[in-house]
Amino acid sequence: MKIKGTLLLLMLVFSSQVFADRFRVLGVQEALLSSKAAEDFRASMEREFAAEERALIELERQAVAVRDRIQQNQGLIPDQEMEQLHLQFQKAFTEYQTRGEAMAEKQIEREQEFLSSMRPKLDQAIRSLIENENIDVVFAKQATVYASGTIDITPRVIEILNRQ
């Protein structure tokens, strides 16, 4: 009876060792964002939105300058002039908000396009690793409490993405 228990225990230990060799973890977002394509995309976005960002900064500067002027001249200038300053501030602030929201929407749209274009490449990279390494299960790295670096395939997925 004791031999059967020991044998069963040994079989479990060795079989779990074999199965452990077929499990991997992957940081999908990390792989996508660490790829050369993502670096190129970020640089492209910076160039694409640089002028709009400068314009937003200028609008913000104008709105702050008008607000400061209103605060400094409170009670010192005629009501009609104060009203003009309030209108000027409201106009600058509204334009700042509108243009900022429009720019943010464009950036989100471009990011979604990038992620959509990268998804088939990511899937192909993962599939090739699964086939080449005979992997049975790939867990999301974010969902694991601990994973040995030897089972993390994120760096290899990044390499494959960079070669594509």
- Specify the pLDDT at position 95: 93
- Specify the pLDDT at position 8: 43
- Three-state DSSP at 137 gives strand
CATH code for the domain defined by 23-163: 3.30.910
- Specify the pLDDT at position 17: 47
Note the pLDDT tens digit of each residue in 117-164: 999 999 999 999 999 989 999 999 988 888 888 899 999 999 999 998
What are the boundaries of each domain within the chain? 23-163
3-state helix, strand, coil in the chain (%, to 5): 80, 5, 15
Render each residue's pLDDT in the chain as its tens digit; 164 residues. 555 544 444 444 444 444 456 889 999 999 999 999 999 999 999 999 999 999 999 999 998 998 888 888 777 778 888 889 889 989 988 999 999 999 999 999 999 999 999 999 999 999 999 999 899 999 999 888 888 888 999 999 999 999 98
User: 60 near 96, Cβ under 8 Å?
Assistant: yes
- Specify the pLDDT at position 9: 42
- Specify the pLDDT at position 143: 87
- Specify the pLDDT at position 4: 53
- Specify the pLDDT at position 36: 96
